[in-house]
């Protein structure tokens, strides 16, 4: 099977010849640039390309690297990236940039400045990488900031999310999707492109306060977001639906303990809108729904499945109730799990390589016998991940792949 054939069969519920490999296949299943450079060394690849395409500093997985790891899925685009990833004219949209003492490529629109203290500022986003750090983050907020004035919060009547995506964006997506379809045999994931339900009108703290105190207003905001998203999904389908097997959306609802707002409040506020959103999605396109949600999601995964969720990422196995055997027992026959093979919380840099292998192999074994599994780490693999850990998870995947049909 080619990667495209394997993913299509997996999504259709048909038997496949081996575990599917989604490493690098979306914005939240890849690697930090430094880990990606180590991956190429582990593979013995002399591939000069190393492009950073999100604020998370993760690398674009090039086709040569995907071939070497047995990858089946490639990311088409991301609204986090102002440059096109693939196709005619894409190379001109990237430039060299020194970061962490090495030269990478970044979109031409991104600008960085080195400071006297050894830090690096990302001028476009007001982010900073401290001396010796490997990630950019916003400066911490001042302590003692006043609570938001709830009498002066935006009204749902004034909320008008865009129903149309820019035509230039759609045409660039179409060009890139056609190029990938014609020049690779990989399945294609449309990256995060449309409105999702991660709303915070008036700011995050004000939104959380409104979830508890002004619930009808929250329903009104979310209903408008769903309407706008479905209009955009129709456009994306017209542009790339014939090429892409799935599309990514995100909503980081959880922390390590559970759904941050609690499952009951989530069901009251969000569940009816997820039901409308996913039903409308499936009515408009054959692209499967891939939802990224960090943290412990075990309490509401059943609800999301009933809404129509197809693929769940990143599978934070270190969070409560999120071990692969637990998830497989509860939801394995109803959902495709995407990730979990390397969770830096339970396998930090000092972990022995063999323990990393056993963790990855256990995740693969747990999920491969159910509805389906896409191999990848939990979220993007950190930049300080030892090369031995990368070898270990690839060995676990290879051993599972040699095990035959799943």
Q: Once rounded to an integer, what is the mean pLDDT over residues 177-181?
A: 98
- Between 133-142, 191-200, 252-261, 345-354, the lowest mean confidence (pLDDT) is in 133-142
Could you give the CA distance from residue 174 to residue 235 in angstroms, rounded to a whole number?
11
Residue 144 lies in a domain: no
What is 351-396 written as a DSSP string? S-HHHHHHHHHHHHHHHHTSS-EEE--SSSBPTT--HHHHHHHHHH
Q: How confident is the model at residue 406 (pLDDT cuts 50, 70, 90)?
A: very low
Residue 295 lies in a domain: yes
pLDDT at 207 over 60: yes
- Between 144-148, 236-240, 261-265, the lowest mean confidence (pLDDT) is in 144-148
Residue 304 belongs to domain with CATH number: 3.20.20.210
Residue 73 lies in a domain: yes
Work out the mean pLDDT of the chain and round it to a whole number. 95
Q: Residues 378-387: pLDDT tens digits?
A: 999 999 999 9
Give the β-pairing of 120-122 and 137-138.
Answer: unpaired
Q: How confident is the model at residue 151 (pLDDT cuts 50, 70, 90)?
A: confident
| Separation of first and last alpha carbons in the chain | 13
- Cβ proximity of 71 and 56 under 8 Å: no
pLDDT of residue 405: 43
- Between 138-147, 193-202, 211-220, the lowest mean confidence (pLDDT) is in 138-147
Residue 286 lies in a domain: yes
DSSP state for residue 25 in the 8-state scheme = S
Could you give the CA distance from residue 326 to residue 77 in angstroms, rounded to a whole number?
33
Helix H or strand E segment including 112: strand 112-114
Residue 15 lies in a domain: yes
Residue 386 lies in a domain: yes
pLDDT of residue 383: 97
Residue 341 lies in a domain: yes
Q: Quick check: helix, strand or coil at residue 336?
A: strand
Q: What's the total number of domains in the chain? A: 1
Q: Residues 163-174: pLDDT tens digits?
A: 999 999 999 999
Residues listed for the chain: 406
Q: What is the pTM of this model?
A: 0.96
Longest dimension (CA), the chain: 62
- Cβ proximity of 106 and 120 under 8 Å: no
Query: Domain span at residue 314?
Result: 3-90+161-401
Residue 142 lies in a domain: no
């Amino acid at each position: 099977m080619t990667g495209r054939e394997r993913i299509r069969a997996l999504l259709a519920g048909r038997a496949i010849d081996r575990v599917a490999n989604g490493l690098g296949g979306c914005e939240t299943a890849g690697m930090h640039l430094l880990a990606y450079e180590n991956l190429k060394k582990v593979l013995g690849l002399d591939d000069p390309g190393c492009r950073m395409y999100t604020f998370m500093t993760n690398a674009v997985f090039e086709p040569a690297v995907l071939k070497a790891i047995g990858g089946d899925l490639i990311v088409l685009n991301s609204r986090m990236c102002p440059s096109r990833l693939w196709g005619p004219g894409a190379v001109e949209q990237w430039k060299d940039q020194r970061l962490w003492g090495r030269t990478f490529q970044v979109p031409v629109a991104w600008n960085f400045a080195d400071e006297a203290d050894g830090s690096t500022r990302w001028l476009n986003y007001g982010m900073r990488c401290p001396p010796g750090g490997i990630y950019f983050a916003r400066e911490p907020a001042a302590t003692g900031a006043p609570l938001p004035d709830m009498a002066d919060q935006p009204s749902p009547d004034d909320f008008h999310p865009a129903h149309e995506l820019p035509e230039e964006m759609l045409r660039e997506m179409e060009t890139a999707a056609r190029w990938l379809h014609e020049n690779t045999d990989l399945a294609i994931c449309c990256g995060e492109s449309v409105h999702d339900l991660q709303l915070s009108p008036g700011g995050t703290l004000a939104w959380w306060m409104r979830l508890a105190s002004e619930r009808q207003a929250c329903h009104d905001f979310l209903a408008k977001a769903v309407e706008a998203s479905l209009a955009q999904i129709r456009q994306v389908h017209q542009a790339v639906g014939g090429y892409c097997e799935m599309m990514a959306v995100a909503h980081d609802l959880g922390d390590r303990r559970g759904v941050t707002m609690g499952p009951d409040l989530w069901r009251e506020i969000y569940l009816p809108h997820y039901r409308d959103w996913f039903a409308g999605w499936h009515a408009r396109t054959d692209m499967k729904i891939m939802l990224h949600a960090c943290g412990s999601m075990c309490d509401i995964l059943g609800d999301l499945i009933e809404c129509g969720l197809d693929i769940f990422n990143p599978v934070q196995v270190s969070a409560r109730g999120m071990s692969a055997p637990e998830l497989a027992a509860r939801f394995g026959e109803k959902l495709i799990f995407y990730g979990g093979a390397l969770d830096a919380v339970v396998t930090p840099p000092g972990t022995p390589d063999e323990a990393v292998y056993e963790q990855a192999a256990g995740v693969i074994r747990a999920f491969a016998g159910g509805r389906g599994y896409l191999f990848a780490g939990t979220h993007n693999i950190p930049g300080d991940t030892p090369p031995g850990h990368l070898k270990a998870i690839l060995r676990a995947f290879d051993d599972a792949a040699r095990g035959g049909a799943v």
